[in-house]
Structure 1
């Protein structure tokens, strides 16, 4: 019973993290296409852009990328600090992680609303929105680490692809967790695709609203997974 419950809980958490990965893909689509070539979730890309920009490559916004790097780091630190004290209980995802997720969702919608109100963004407002988006995604990535599903960080799929290849039958492995790992790559791409389409036809703030909706759906799925996880933990305790 315990083994099957653990497997079921992991599937439920995995589904929620896949939706959050799609949301990150959408946010990165917004930040790259509508906020001047900067990522707010994929920090590897920003490190490369800073390197390119420092050599004098045209149209690489070094300041924007540095801001995203620093605020993402700050967000991850805050997310870890806020959830660490509540971690280690019978349920793998602490309640404080859901609080962080709620703040992230509200923040996404608030930034989209500000963007809609301002209209065309000036450089300063663009950098502020970029920094806040990176802060939110950093906090989210730290908060969901407690699910202990390392293949689904929600903000990057590079190591997911390495694990997929290393554990594949082609590499002599057993093909473990291939569906979840492929799903992470696909959902991030779909999120970016959806954001790009919305940006093309409606504009950046509407794509950010879409990302907020995805983030909200992922958070609701996390709530459902946590409740079921808590139910199994209680049943195991009283058995």
Structure 2
């Protein structure tokens, strides 16, 4: 690995930690504001489909299936993008994926503000899910352990199973605990923003945050490359 790539990869854990906050934020806004549907956590959507199929009130199989379909579409698109960008430095192709996420999240915010009713709601769900599919597939390609940015089950399993009480060394405990705290913190802020600001403005805030993260990461990567 070149010094350029190594330098860019050293920045990834911090970038992914911020994105974990954003995931908690987005899932809070989507679950509370879009009808008990997740746009980042697809495990939750699969479970919700089961709830809805059993007739549990307040859950929409259609909304969760829309999110799942959008997520898979985004992941496929990100996979094709990764193949096309295979020879590029990590900060460029991953930065490009983050720009796409930010643009789609901004589009979702616009739709939420301008399109009322069920049509607007389903459109927002679909667009956000595509954005998060792009994110997840791209994060997976970076290969950074314990920072998927959207799910915590494996991370928490590692935190417990590798801990000193379990006979382990506590490897990466700070990163793993930090990811859990980041997700919870993002969910707290997202819930507060939804309760006080609605759906559109928090989504715009999320888009702005990811844009800043992408710009900072790419700029730092270009500086290292010089």
Regarding TM over 0.5, the answer is yes
For the structure 1 residues 144 and 138, does the alpha-carbon distance in structure 2 shift closer, same or farther, using more than 3 Å as the test?
same
Q: Report how far residue 165 of structure 1 moved.
A: 1.4
Q: C-alpha distance in 2, partners of 1:228/1:14?
A: 18
3-state SS in 1 of match to 2:59: coil
Aligned to 1:194: 189
Write the deviation string for residues 85-105 of structure 1: whole angstroms up to 9, x where unpaired: 32366x4x2623322211211
Kept after mapping to 1: 8 A contact 2:163/2:170: yes
- Unaligned 5+ residue runs, structure 2? none
Where do residues 191-230 of structure 1 align in structure 2 (5 Å cutoff)? 191-224=186-219, 226-227=221-222, 230=225
User: What is the TM-score when the length of structure 1 is the normalising length?
Assistant: 0.85
Kept after mapping to 2: 8 A contact 1:86/1:94: no
Aligned to 2:114: 117
Where do residues 10-159 of structure 1 align in structure 2 (5 Å cutoff)? 10-87=9-86, 91=89, 93=90, 95-118=92-115, 121-159=116-154
Q: Report how far residue 76 of structure 1 moved.
A: 0.8
Q: C-alpha distance in 2, partners of 1:150/1:229?
A: 23
Q: Report how far residue 10 of structure 1 moved.
A: 4.8
Report runs of 4+ in structure 1 exceeding 4 Å deviation. 8-11, 228-231
Q: Report how far residue 230 of structure 1 moved.
A: 4.2
3-state SS in 2 of match to 1:152: coil
Kept after mapping to 2: 8 A contact 1:17/1:218: no
Q: C-alpha distance in 1, partners of 2:212/2:182?
A: 14
For the structure 1 residues 147 and 115, does the alpha-carbon distance in structure 2 shift closer, same or farther, using more than 3 Å as the test?
same
Kept after mapping to 2: 8 A contact 1:30/1:207: yes
3-state SS in 1 of match to 2:171: coil
Q: For the aligned residues, what is the CA RMSD?
A: 2.2
Kept after mapping to 2: 8 A contact 1:105/1:216: yes
Aligned residue pairs: how many?
224
